[in-house]
Amino acid sequence: MKKIIKRCNKIADERGIDLRQSYTTTVKRLGHLQRFRKSKKHYKLANKADRKIKTIAGRLMREIERKLDPQGYAKWSTELEIYKRIIAQKRNDHNKIYSIHEPHVECLSKGKEHKKYEFGNKVSILITQKTGVIVGAISIDKNKHDSKTTDEALKQYERMTGKTAEQVYVDRGYRGISMSGNTEIKVAGIQRNITQSQKRKHSRRAAIEPKISHLKSDHRLGRNYYKGIVGDRINVMLAAAALNFKRMMNKWKALIFCQFKSVMESLFRDAIPKSVAG
């Protein structure tokens, strides 16, 4: 709500609108009341200040909408509609707006104690069983169930490699599907009486977890700095490509080091005389 108030004042300054009140000092004073929200004595004052700030945001937004000229309204109409939705939305509503500058951001429930929710968009990652090369990385526009994302991920894999995967091993979040086109979906921990080979493949599936962690922490997949849905897709592809490049660079580095070590050992061996007089 403070952002809406600040942006409404900015629109008024840009278009030369004379507001009845800017509420700058009032919002600052109401913000000070938020310090004691956890206090038994003052939490009612903090809630009252919240409601007051929301009222001020709606009041300013409606005044800007009334006083804007046609040219200014054409420029700011989309942003004003976003403000309306933010002010009107309730806690349990669907399709809420969590960000003014990125309205398409979704709330993703993690179900983990240290991080219950994430705000962004869902990403599907595919790696090979043996080498761990990322062969699929796609951004999902909506907060779909994991089982609804397999078709898009496998189509991208076919476009990039020209092959069709026979089997895909996934975690329990993909429960509910067994086939996707001609590809068999193997869900970990669901099937019983499986062979030792399948057990190894299921255990190998866990290798994707550190890959995802490295993408988030080392390659900027944890936070997206590009604009819009297209920016989300670009960010995913760049992060996956960077991790693949880093893997190959590490392999080349290890190969060069082994060659250098063998050359140095041979030179050192030739420099030592075969017989030494005592």
C-beta of residue 61 within 8 angstroms of C-beta of residue 8: yes
For 35-55, the pLDDT digits (tens) are 888 888 888 999 999 999 999
Handedness of CA 71, 76, 77, 78 (dihedral sign): positive
- Copy the structure tokens of residue 41: 């004595």
pLDDT at res. 21: 92
C-beta of residue 148 within 8 angstroms of C-beta of residue 163: no
Q: Whole-angstrom Cα distance, residue 198 to residue 9?
A: 62
pLDDT surpassing 50 at residue 1: yes
Q: What is the mean pLDDT of residues 210-221?
A: 91
Model's pTM, two decimal places? 0.78
For a pLDDT cut of 70, what percent of the chain falls above it?
A: 96
Q: Whole-angstrom Cα distance, residue 99 to residue 97?
A: 6
Residue 278 — very low, low, confident or very high, per pLDDT cuts 50/70/90? Answer: very low
pLDDT surpassing 90 at residue 8: yes
Residue 237 — very low, low, confident or very high, per pLDDT cuts 50/70/90? Answer: very high
pLDDT surpassing 80 at residue 191: no
Residue 277 — very low, low, confident or very high, per pLDDT cuts 50/70/90? Answer: very low
117, amino acid identity: Y
pLDDT surpassing 80 at residue 2: yes
pLDDT at res. 271: 63
For 95-127, the pLDDT digits (tens) are 899 999 889 898 888 878 888 888 888 999 999
C-beta of residue 125 within 8 angstroms of C-beta of residue 240: yes
Question: How many CB atoms sit inside 10 A of residue 106's CB?
Answer: 17
Question: CA torsion 223→226→227→233, rounded to 10°?
Answer: -90
Q: Whole-angstrom Cα distance, residue 54 to residue 56?
A: 5
For 130-181, the pLDDT digits (tens) are 888 999 999 988 888 888 889 999 999 999 888 888 889 898 888 888 888 8
Question: Kind of pairing, strands 167-170 and 183-187?
Answer: parallel
Residue 217 burial class via C-beta count within 10 angstroms: exposed 0-12, middle 13-18, buried 19 and up: exposed
pLDDT at res. 275: 53
pLDDT at res. 274: 55
pLDDT surpassing 70 at residue 273: no
Element containing residue 144 per DSSP (H, E)? none
